[in-house]
Amino acid sequence: MAFKIKPDDCVGCGVCKDNCPVECIKEVDGKCVINAEECVGCGTCIANCPSDAIVQE
């Protein structure tokens, strides 16, 4: 199970980054990116993303 942010849909609001409990999301060139090795799969980012940019694969 992996969580991924679709760059084309991310508006760079930073909500996911600010609410990730293990701080595994960083911002790169105005888009957020998940470090899959640190992600614990809690689902908080998906629940809070305003543009449905995060997918579970």
Interface residue list for ligand SF4 (CB under 6 A): 3, 5, 10-16, 20, 22, 24-25, 32, 34, 39-45, 49-51, 53-54
β partners of residue 23: none
β partners of residue 33: 26
Q: Minimum Å distance from CB 39 to ligand SF4?
A: 3
Cβ distance to ligand SF4 smaller for residue 11 or 57: 11
Supply 44's token pair. 């908080």
CA distance 8 to 54: 11
Q: Minimum Å distance from CB 4 to ligand SF4?
A: 9
Supply 13's token pair. 């609001």
